[in-house]
């Protein structure tokens, strides 16, 4: 009896903070290790899309442009350029620069394994990754930045802040600051949180520097970080 055996592919979107990829300067070793993980997981039918953040280069350029009087929208546009510069590095390391281009609009994405940066002013790449996860019907969204997870308050301001292993939707919306400003750093932007909650996207927040931990999270094993409970 012939017949097709459906191949089960797990789809993951990783929001990869620019703070890990290129802050203070390009982190070649990290990029190579990340790409190595992506290519290895591909062979195990786990397809990873990456949305790359702007990191220091985005913030430096935004600050300078703002000091010259540029509008917030224009500063956002500058931030988007920085995210695409960083995304270009991941695409280069994946060896996919010849056949792929960086999508600029989530709605036009048809692939399960894209590399992209920002899209439009008014949000960060966290929101883009949530939109992408919703568009490609991803099984999991991983927010990977340089902090270990979601804290009950900003750990940079409050040393007594506690990292939460699980966070519910109401609590999440309470923790996140609502207003967008170019270059602002919050663990997840408000738009991302709303998309995650509305579309019930399985989401983990963890430190992207620890790739072994990220791989454990992707494979459903116990990991260090925060799970958004929907
Ligand atoms: P990031 O997504 O990098 O912001 O976008 P971030 O939260 O600082 O993330 P890290 O530091 O990389 O982890 C950088 C800036 O680019 C603009 C915003 O101004 C944002 O703060 N941006 C980015 C947009 O306006 N739209 C986008 O879709 C993406």
Nearest to 206 by CA among 230, 191, 228, 182: 228
Atom of ligand 1 nearest to the CA of 56: 11
| Helix-helix angle 28-43:72-94, to 10 degrees | 60
pLDDT of residue 8: 72
Cβ 74 under 6 angstroms from ligand 1: no
Domain annotation for the chain: domains and CATH numbers: 10-229 (3.40.1160.10)
User: Does the Cβ of 53 fall within 6 Å of ligand 1?
Assistant: yes
Output the pLDDT for position 154: 83
Tell me, using a 6 A CB cutoff, whether residue 50 lines ligand 1. Answer: no
Positions in the chain short of pLDDT 70: 1-7
Give the separation between CA 46 and CA 219, rounded to whole angstroms: 9
CB 123 less than 6 A from any atom of ligand 1: yes
* pLDDT, position 2: 45
- Supply the Cα-derived Rg of the chain in whole angstroms: 17
Largest CA distance in the chain: 71
Question: Whole-model pTM?
Answer: 0.95
* Ligand 1, atom nearest to 122 Cα: 25
Distance 124 CA to ligand 1 centre (A): 4
Full strand arrangement of the beta sheet holding 10-16 = 115-116, 46-52, 10-16, 140-145, 203-207, 226-229, 166-168
The count of other CB atoms within 10 Å of the CB of residue 43 is 7
pLDDT at 194: 96
């Amino acid at each position: 009896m012939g017949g097709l055996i459906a191949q089960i592919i797990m789809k993951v979107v990783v929001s990869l903070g620019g703070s890990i990829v290129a802050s203070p300067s390009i982190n070649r070793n990290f990029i190579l290790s990340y790409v190595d993980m992506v290519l290895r997981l591909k062979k195990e039918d786990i397809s990873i899309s990456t949305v790359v953040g702007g990191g220091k280069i985005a913030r430096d350029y935004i600050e300078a442009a703002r000091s010259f009087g540029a509008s917030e929208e224009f500063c956002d546009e500058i931030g988007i350029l920085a995210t695409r510069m960083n995304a270009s590095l991941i695409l280069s390391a994946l060896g996919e620069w010849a056949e792929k281009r960086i999508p600029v609009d989530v709605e036009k994405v048809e692939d399960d394994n894209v590399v992209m940066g920002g899209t439009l002013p008014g949000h960060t790449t966290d929101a883009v990754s949530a939109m992408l996860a919703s568009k490609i019907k991803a099984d999991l969204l991983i927010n990977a930045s340089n902090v270990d997870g979601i804290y009950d308050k900003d750990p940079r301001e409050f040393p007594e802040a506690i990292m939460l292993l699980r966070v519910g939707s109401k609590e999440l919306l309470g923790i996140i600051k609502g207003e967008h400003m170019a270059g602002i750093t919050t663990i997840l932007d408000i738009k991302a949180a709303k998309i995650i909650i509305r579309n019930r996207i399985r989401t983990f927040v963890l430190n992207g520097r620890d790739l072994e931990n990220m791989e454990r999270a992707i494979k459903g094993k116990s990991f260090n970080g925060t799970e958004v409970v929907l």
